[in-house]
Every structure is written in C-alpha cells, then in structure tokens.
Chain A
Amino acid sequence: AQKITQTQPGMFVQEKEAVTLDCTYDTSDQSYGLFWYKQPSSGEMIFLIYQGSYDEQNATEGRYSLNFQKARKSANLVISASQLGDSAMYFCAMRESRRGGNKLTFGTGTQLKVEL
C-alpha cells in the first residue's frame, strides 16, 4: 500500500484564487509528521510547511496552510491568493517516528499551474 497518496497529477488555478492540493497517508504509528515541499521548474526542493500528528491546530506559513484531518488521514495543502510563481510540482511527505527514524516517504507529486 502507498504510504503517501497524491491523487491529482495536475491542477490548474487562476491567479489570486485559492487552491487545495490533496494528500492522504497511511500509517499505524501514533506519532508522525507531515511535510509539504515545492519543486519549481528550476529543480530545487523547497520546504513549505510541517504538521505534527499531535498538533491540535492546523499549521500555517504565510499563504500556505495545512488542512489536517487526522481521522481521515489527510493532510491537504491550501495555497491562498495564488501567484504565478506558485506554479510548480508539490510533494507531500511523511515521517514515521517509530519505524522510519528520520526518513521521509514522498508522494508522487501534484503539478500546479497558475494561470492569469
């Protein structure tokens, strides 16, 4: 079974609109962490946001927020007020503290295109 599932290979959004990128995960651990990374066309991997499994509030970082629904095992990334520079590949990743040490398991990514 996939540990991290990103079901949207590609997404389009108009500039200034909000967009949600889906991520579901599978783990039996009680303690785990969820991460989102951005990979623009230039190729670098940029850390965006982190959510711990015990965090009661959804994480936010500027225009990024993580819609964490623990019972549904989902950790969707919400980007508000989209900008052209948000066009990139977005990866969801999970750290399982018990099994994986410091390892991250990445999803297959969602390609986001922001249009005028």
Chain B
Amino acid sequence: DAGVIQSPRHEVTEMGQEVTLRCKPISGHNSLFWYRQTMMRGLELLIYFNNNVPIDDSGMPEDRFSAKMPNASFSTLKIQPSEPRDSAVYFCASSLDQAAGAQYFGPGTRLLVL
C-alpha cells in the first residue's frame, strides 16, 4: 500500500515567492497533520484536520501560512510570501482517529528560502 505522498520533495525559492506543498494521505485515514522540523525548534505541529475539517491551527506561525483539505485525499500547505526563516523540512502525516492510531509520516519536503 502506498504511504503518505508529499510533493515536491525539495523546493528552493526566493524570499517573497509563494510556496505550495502538497500531501496525499493514506487511503482510509481520516486525520491529516502538517508538521515543521527545524534544528532550533524540533518537530512542531502546524495544523491538523479531521474528516477534512481543520481542528487545531494554533501552531500555524502567522497569516502567511494557510492550509486546506478540499477532500479526503489531498491537502495543501501554502506560504505566501515566503521568508528565509521558513526554511525547514515540512512533514505531512495521516492517521485513523482512534486511541491507538499512529501517525504515519510522508517523506517530507525540504524547503529552502533564499
């Protein structure tokens, strides 16, 4: 079975540009999570969806970040405008919403904002 799919795997952009990260969760999973990982701050939850509805976006850094989940098989995380401090690895993860539901991570998108 396919795992969580993320695209692109690498992104290099210039400050001020819009960046869109994409995620396809594991089929049948009803929760989807966006994380950011940096050396300084570790692994941070940005936002999570349950049944395509945003449940908690308290980790979204600021208005420059937005996330959508138009259907059960697709989500996007958009940064507009991007800044150098947004450089990080962005992970998408999905799970079944149950007590023992482990989150399964995608390979991540390495973002570098110059």
Binding site for B on A (CB under 8 A): 31, 33, 35, 37, 43-47, 50, 52, 91, 95, 97, 101-104, 106, 108-109
Contacts and interface: CB of A to CB of B under 8 A. Distances in A.
B103 A104 contact: yes
B67 interface: no
Nearest to A104: B103
17 contacts: A31-B99, A37-B105, A43-B110, A44-B107, A44-B108, A45-B93, A45-B108, A46-B105, A47-B103, A50-B102, A52-B99, A101-B55, A102-B48, A102-B95, A104-B45, A108-B42, A109-B42
B104 A47 contact: yes
Contacts of A43: 89, 107-108, 110
B18 interface: no
A97 B99 contact: yes
Given A101-B50, A103-B48, A106-B42, A47 B99 contact: no
A97 B100 CA distance: 10
Contacts, number: 51
B102 A47 contact: yes
Contacts of A33: 99-100
Which 6 interchain pairs have the tightest Cβ spacing? A45-B105, A47-B102, A106-B43, A102-B31, A102-B97, A44-B107
Interface string B21-65: 000000000010100000000110100101000011000000000
B56 A101 contact: yes
B64 to A, nearest CB: 23
**Central interface residue in B33, B42, B100, B104, by most chain A CB within 10 Å:** B100
Contacts of A109: 42
A101 B33 CA distance: 12
A37 B102 CA distance: 10
A103 B56 CA distance: 9
Contacts of A91: 43
A90 to B, nearest CB: 12
A64 to B, nearest CB: 13
Contacts of A97: 99
B93 A102 contact: no
